[in-house]
């Protein structure tokens, strides 16, 4: 009987696990009373059913339970282990997953192998609770589930901290939407700073933010490899960014000068919304080709302010080949 369960579709296994989950919750948290004759028949029936299910459950082989746990997606697995101390004791599988936290009004925890991912989004909207959706991109499929919470950010942090203690998973990226938090962003930065020794990649979004607040994030969140900054600041000044990162993407680069471009050391950078001229770009290309600068550069992306003249001026005295056109304005 149990064997045939195992070979059903994974959704069946998941719903079975939900059943086991609630039973475990009941068994280890609830106090069980023998139905008294004064109780209503439906109550009695319910308790009898509990009792019968309990009987079956406790007779499951440990190996079989582990087999089911092993087939769960990471979110259900983490959730199962949260049901009670005993569930946590059963959940001893270590797997490596990539985890990404998105900090916005509806915070999201995404976990998976990068291609097939699972996500929980915490929402204050009760009507969205437990809704599911599948989102797909050319290189990613993501199964999302919404979870109601009065305190979405707190719920996300708690879920992540539990998952980390359970599976030793670390963090891959953090995405922060500054506009959703006002002054509370300092508290978030404090949490990120004290929780993560190092974050491989961060991405920050915002509109009309103060430069000092953006810099506060950059100074206090320990990002290591990649920074994508899509923040429009009131002052439009260059932020201070360590040279040691590998990848930089600036979404609002109206402040970017030729000097700034020449000073960059990363192996990949993208500068969007800049006022760099075709002459500036020509100067940069030549310097790079003559190996006078940008020795590590592998990839460069920029918005063109004057596309018509780009070939004549931007590529003057530079041998080039046209690659396939991409949706990005210009790509090398
Ligand atoms: C975790 O399990 C509880 C209890 O079954 C359920 O209410 C909740 O929706 C689950 N959460 C997720 C994210 O699956
Ligand atoms: C971030 O952590 C470092 C130590 O790792 C500490 O010196 C710094 O004050 C912290 N910043 C904040 C905002 O907590
Ligand atoms: C620059 O590129 C970005 C992203 O591709 C695009 O959204 C924006 O409109 C472009 N800006 C200009 C001035 O071309």
- Tell me, in angstroms, the distance from the centre of ligand 3 to residue 328's CA: 8
Pocket flag, ligand 2, residue 218 (CB < 6 Å): no
pTM of the model as a whole: 0.80
Give dist(CA 155, CA 162) in Å, integer. 11
Ligand 3 atom closest to the CA of 329, numbered from 1: 5
Residue 57 lies in a domain: yes
- pLDDT band, very low/low/confident/very high, at 30 (cuts 50, 70, 90): very low
Residue 42 lies in a domain: yes
CA 109-76-147 angle, to 5 degrees, is 50
pLDDT in tens, 67-115: 888 888 899 989 888 887 877 877 877 778 999 999 999 999 999 998 9
Give dist(CA 186, CA 184) in Å, integer. 5
Q: Whose CA is nearest to atom 5 of ligand 3?
A: 328
- pLDDT band, very low/low/confident/very high, at 168 (cuts 50, 70, 90): confident
pLDDT in tens, 213-232: 999 999 999 999 999 999 99
Pocket flag, ligand 2, residue 215 (CB < 6 Å): no
pLDDT in tens, 188-212: 999 999 999 999 999 999 999 999 9
- Tell me, in angstroms, the distance from the centre of ligand 2 to residue 216's CA: 11
Write out the H or E segment, with its range, that includes residue 163: helix 152-167
- pLDDT band, very low/low/confident/very high, at 64 (cuts 50, 70, 90): confident
Q: Whose CA is nearest to atom 8 of ligand 2?
A: 220
Query: How confident is the prediction for the chain on average, in pLDDT?
Result: 83
Give dist(CA 60, CA 197) in Å, integer. 41
Residue 141 lies in a domain: no
Give dist(CA 213, CA 185) in Å, integer. 9
Could you identify the residue written with the tokens 């009941």?
26
Pocket flag, ligand 1, residue 280 (CB < 6 Å): no
Residue 27 lies in a domain: yes
Residue 280 Cα distances to 162, 259, 268, 283, 285, angstroms:
50, 9, 18, 5, 9
Write out the H or E segment, with its range, that includes residue 174: strand 173-177
Handedness of CA 127, 128, 132, 134 (dihedral sign): positive
pLDDT greater at residue 305 or residue 189: 189
Return the half-sphere exposure (C-beta side, CA atoms, 13 A cut-off) of residue 330.
19
Structural domain total, the chain: 1
Range of the domain at 25: 1-62
Percent of the chain with pLDDT over 90: 64
Residue 235 Cα distances to 74, 125, 229, angstroms:
43, 36, 15
Pocket flag, ligand 1, residue 130 (CB < 6 Å): yes
Percent of the chain with pLDDT over 70: 80
What would the 3-class secondary structure string for 253-290 be?
Answer: CCCCCHHHHHHCCCCEEEECCCCCCHHHHHHHHHHHHC
**Is the per-residue pLDDT at 301 higher than 70?**
yes
pLDDT on residue 38: 54
Pocket flag, ligand 2, residue 220 (CB < 6 Å): yes
114's tokens: 């990068």
Residue 289 lies in a domain: no
Strands 116-123 and 132-137: unpaired
Pocket flag, ligand 1, residue 21 (CB < 6 Å): yes
Residue 36 lies in a domain: yes
Ligand 3 contacts (CB < 6 A) are: 272-273, 303, 328-329
Residue 33 lies in a domain: yes
Pocket flag, ligand 2, residue 188 (CB < 6 Å): no
What would the 3-class secondary structure string for 201-251 be?
Answer: EEEEEEEEECHHHHHHHHHHCCEEEEEEEEEEECCCCCCCCCCCCCEEEEC
- pLDDT band, very low/low/confident/very high, at 6 (cuts 50, 70, 90): very low
pLDDT on residue 70: 82
What would the 3-class secondary structure string for 20-53 be?
Answer: HHHHHHHHHHCCCCCCCCCCCHHHHHHHHHHHHH
Residue 155 lies in a domain: no
Closest ligand by atom to 271 CA: 3
pLDDT greater at residue 23 or residue 41: 41
Q: Whose CA is nearest to atom 12 of ligand 1?
A: 79
Give dist(CA 296, CA 306) in Å, integer. 27
Mutate to test the pocket of ligand 1, among 79, 118, 149 (most ligand atoms within 8 A of CB): 79
Closest ligand by atom to 228 CA: 3
Could you identify the residue written with the tokens 């491989």?
200
Is residue 142 within 8 A of residue 127, CB to CB? The reply is no
- pLDDT band, very low/low/confident/very high, at 26 (cuts 50, 70, 90): very low
């Amino acid at each position: 009987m149990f064997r045939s369960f195992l070979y059903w579709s994974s959704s069946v296994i998941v719903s079975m696990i939900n059943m086991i989950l609630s039973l475990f919750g009941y068994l280890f948290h609830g106090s069980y009373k023998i139905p008294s004759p004064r109780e209503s028949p439906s109550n009695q029936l319910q308790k009898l059913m509990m009792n019968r299910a309990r009987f079956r459950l406790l007779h499951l082989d440990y190996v079989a339970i582990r087999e089911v746990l092993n087939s769960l997606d990471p979110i259900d697995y983490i959730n199962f282990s949260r049901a009670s101390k005993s569930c946590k004791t059963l959940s001893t599988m270590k797997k490596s997953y990539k985890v990404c936290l998105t900090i916005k009004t509806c915070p999201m925890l995404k976990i998976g192998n990068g291609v097939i991912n699972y996500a929980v989004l915490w929402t204050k909207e009760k009507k969205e609770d437990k809704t599911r959706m599948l989102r797909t991109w050319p290189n990613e499929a993501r199964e999302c589930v919404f979870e109601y919470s009065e305190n979405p950010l707190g719920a996300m942090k708690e879920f992540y901290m539990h998952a980390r203690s359970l599976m030793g998973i670390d963090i891959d990226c953090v995405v922060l939407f500054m506009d959703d938090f006002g002054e509370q962003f300092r508290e978030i930065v404090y949490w990120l700073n004290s929780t993560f020794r190092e974050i491989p990649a961060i991405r920050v979004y915002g509109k009309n933010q103060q430069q000092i607040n953006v810099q506060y994030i950059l100074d206090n969140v320990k990002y290591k490899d990649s920074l994508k900054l899509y923040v429009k600041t009131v002052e439009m000044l260059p932020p201070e960014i360590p040279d040691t990162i590998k990848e930089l993407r600036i979404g609002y680069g109206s402040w970017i000068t030729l000097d700034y471009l020449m000073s960059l050391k990363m192996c990949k950078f993208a500068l969007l919304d800049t006022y760099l001229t075709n002459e500036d770009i020509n100067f940069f290309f030549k310097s790079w080709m003559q190996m006078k600068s940008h020795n590590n550069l592998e990839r460069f992306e920029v918005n063109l302010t004057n596309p018509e003249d780009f070939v004549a001026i931007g590529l003057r005295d530079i041998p080039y080949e046209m690659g396939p056109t991409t949706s990005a304005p210009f790509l090398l």
